[in-house]
Amino acid sequence: MNQHARIETQIPFIDVAAQRRRLGTRIDDAVRRVMDHCLFVNGPEVAELERQLAAFCGARHAIGVASGTDALVLVLMAKGIGRGDAVICPSFTYAASPEAVALVGATPVFAEVAETTFNIDPAGIEGAVAAAKGAGLDPKALMTVDLFGLPADYEAINPVAEKFGLYVIDDAAQGFGADAKGRMIGTLAPVTTTSFFPAKPLGCYGDGGAVFTDDDELADVIRSLRNHGQGTDRYDNVRVGMTGRLDTIQAAVLIEKLRIFPEEIAARERIARRYNAALQDVVRVPHVSNEHSCVWAQYTIRVSDGCRDALAQTLRQQGIPTAQYYPVPAHRQGAYRDYPVAEGGLGVTDRLSGEVISLPMHAYLDEPTQDRVVAAVRGALQK
């Protein structure tokens, strides 16, 4: 055996370039068409993408917007949520979820997540409502998050939300493309938002997002709000809005990517199953019930607190990147630590944030590379 340490090539965590190589001139041509017609804002590709996205998930309306964060802000604005109102959301999420709530002047109230799914625990919603009321707030909405690509448990969540009069907003920035009992994300809550950030399962080449709903009136208001509160024409402003539109070039890119999205979801599912089979005896692998599908925005395992950093370091030395989503939950972040937390506390959230570690995951991760990741994880943990 060679006495010198083998130099391993660096594995990308998410390989955006592999997809770019596959799509090649199709994307170049799509962007060139926009360059030719020069309708960079509200061009025909935006309406075409919206039509295709709505057909893809079965929602009546898909509305292209500038980012996943803007999508959330626009929904909250459209629902008139603001000062004095509470929006219940998980703390185990990306900062954008509570950020959107705070941006409209409302108060995020953090609720507990379930140990097995990392998604909001239906049993914890009541404690969050109590905390909101205790703080003198009016609980108006529940922002669920389909973390790592797995839909939250809407069958259990929706009745609880109804009992407490909470409007459900599905933050599906990580979950678009997944389903529950055959119903796609985009139709599981009265309104759904997503992000097309490049690293997302369906990503563009910059910032982008969308809102999905069956509610005609809400869709009209969001279309107006993303365009400076426009009424019948450009210089008729009927409400205070913002610049929240999806660029035509990004829509053109997304139309090409949407064509291969189902194939990519299937590839991600195959990889996750292989990872699960090869790792389930050494770590806690993600659990997906038979009733849900997952788009694997992240493949996240759990290791006992204390050995996570050593695992990350060992893998890094072998050219294998990892990520920790999220090492500090929102309720412990400087920006959000003064907001209320559900009665009973967030013990599961705190534990998960110390144990989760995500492995490389994308549709173009070949089997030898998957095997390299598996061997490195097993080797590191069995020492």
In order of 248, 260, 278, 366, the CA distances from 272 in angstroms are 33, 19, 10, 12
State which of residues 56, 92, 118, 197 lies at the interface with ligand PLP (CB under 6 A): 197
Instruction: Look at the chain and count its residues.
Output: 383
Provide, rounded to whole angstroms, the least separation between the CB of residue 94 and ligand PLP. 4
- Mask of contacts with ligand PLP, 166-185, x by CB under 6 A? -----x-xx-----------
Residue pair 62/54 in contact (Cβ under 8 Å)? The answer is yes
Alpha carbons within 13 angstroms on the beta-carbon side of residue 68 total 27
State which of residues 53, 145, 160, 178 lies at the interface with ligand PLP (CB under 6 A): 145
Selected range binding ligand PLP among 20-28, 55-63, 90-98, 159-167, rule: CB under 6 A: 90-98
Tell me which residue of 184, 256, 197 sits closest to 20, measured CA to CA. 256
Closer residue to ligand PLP (CB): 65 or 380: 65
- Which 8-state DSSP code applies to residue 64? E
Provide, rounded to whole angstroms, the least separation between the CB of residue 193 and ligand PLP. 7
d(CA 313, CA 335): 29
Closer residue to ligand PLP (CB): 200 or 302: 200
Asked whether position 192 contacts ligand PLP by CB under 6 A, the answer is no
Asked whether position 107 contacts ligand PLP by CB under 6 A, the answer is no
Tell me which residue of 201, 257, 365 sits closest to 23, measured CA to CA. 257
- Which 8-state DSSP code applies to residue 334? T
Closer residue to ligand PLP (CB): 68 or 139: 68
- Mask of contacts with ligand PLP, 10-49, x by CB under 6 A? ----------------------------------------
Provide, rounded to whole angstroms, the least separation between the CB of residue 145 and ligand PLP. 5
Selected range binding ligand PLP among 24-32, 66-74, 162-170, 362-370, rule: CB under 6 A: 66-74
d(CA 76, CA 70): 10
Residue pair 173/198 in contact (Cβ under 8 Å)? The answer is no
State which of residues 77, 87, 89, 96 lies at the interface with ligand PLP (CB under 6 A): 96
Retrieve residue 27's tokens: 């994307």
> Beta-carbon neighbour count of residue 164 at 10 Å?
16
Asked whether position 300 contacts ligand PLP by CB under 6 A, the answer is no
Provide, rounded to whole angstroms, the least separation between the CB of residue 207 and ligand PLP. 6
- Which 8-state DSSP code applies to residue 148? G
d(CA 131, CA 133): 6
Asked whether position 152 contacts ligand PLP by CB under 6 A, the answer is no
Closer residue to ligand PLP (CB): 69 or 192: 69
State which of residues 190, 209, 244, 340 lies at the interface with ligand PLP (CB under 6 A): 209
> What amino acid occupies position 25?
T
Provide, rounded to whole angstroms, the least separation between the CB of residue 121 and ligand PLP. 17
d(CA 178, CA 197): 17
Q: Omega into 299 within 30° of 0, i.e. cis?
A: no
**Binding site residues, ligand PLP, CB under 6 A:** 67-69, 93-94, 96-97, 145, 171, 173-174, 195, 197, 207, 209
